[in-house]
Structure 1
């Protein structure tokens, strides 16, 4: 009897077996993310946002006065890659850049009222997308999943 018949969890909807990949956590996490990502991109595009610009706006909104190096670290991005995104958000009036008084080479980033409102509206839409995907999980399973993901992420911070 093929393994897929012994354990039907290893058979994809297409009928292709993935007995190795199906047992890899990273692969399963990617598959779940790929259910959310395209729809999240679509709803963010309605507000002329990309995932990276939404992520930056969200972190800046939650951390008024954050500097570019802190933002890059929080998002695990190269600082140089953030410049274009920060310029875009500033040009749209979603964030403001002010020189840090103690170091005039650094800029503190703060979301404008317009930026905060856009972030909140976009976050609601992205949550709705996630809810459609993880709606099969009850509140306890969702809380447990978030706790596990937070523990995995905390390992990186060490």
Structure 2
């Protein structure tokens, strides 16, 4: 004979068993941050990864796609997609590298720099909004802890 299984309502479902794990808490926090960042970047025609790629190109003129992939910890094929989108928007150009004509150096255009500057200001506001209520020492501790966790990977 089968016993009846209790039905849960939305309000009585708990994730307490998962809350003991740091990774689960990090994932939940990241989901909130990522959703707000997506809304923040949308008016600029950017997503988290295209913004990250544009930022790296702005800060590292002449960067090669393979270097960009390594810096962002993504597959080179995915970087090509991000760079294609940035190039189609007129924000990035590719030019053959002087020392290796098979490779390309990535450069930000003037239009790319303009959108980047506006997007950075919006992302800073996003960070302030998301970290509101945390003291500077707490923010520093979170960054330090995350860096230490990343270093173990």
What TM-score comes out, normalization by structure 2 length? 0.85
Classify the secondary structure of the residue corresponding to 1:97: strand
Partner of 2:131: 134
* 1:72 aligned onto 2:69: yes
- The one of 37, 49, 52 equivalent to 1:52 is 49
1:133-154 Cα offsets, whole Å, 9 max, x none, are 2212101100111112122223
Matches of 1:82 and 1:16, distance apart in 2: 40
Q: Structure 2: which 5+ residue stretches go unaligned?
A: 1-10
Task: Measure the CA separation in 2 of the matches of 1:31 and 1:148.
Answer: 17
2:45 matched to 1:42? no
Taking the aligned partners of 1:67 and 1:146, their CA distance within structure 2 comes to: 28
Consecutive unaligned residues of structure 1, counting only runs of 5 or more, are 1-13
Q: TM-score, normalised by structure 1?
A: 0.82
Q: What does 1:4-153 align with in structure 2 at a 5 Å threshold?
A: 14-153=11-150
SS of aligned partner of 1:66: coil
CA distance in 2, matches of 1:117, 1:155: 37
**How much does 1:45 deviate?**
1.0
Structure holding more strand per residue:
1
Instruction: Look at both structures and tell me which one has the larger radius of gyration over its CA atoms.
Output: 2
Aligned Cα root-mean-square deviation (Å): 1.8
Separation of aligned partners in 2, 1:18 and 1:92 = 42
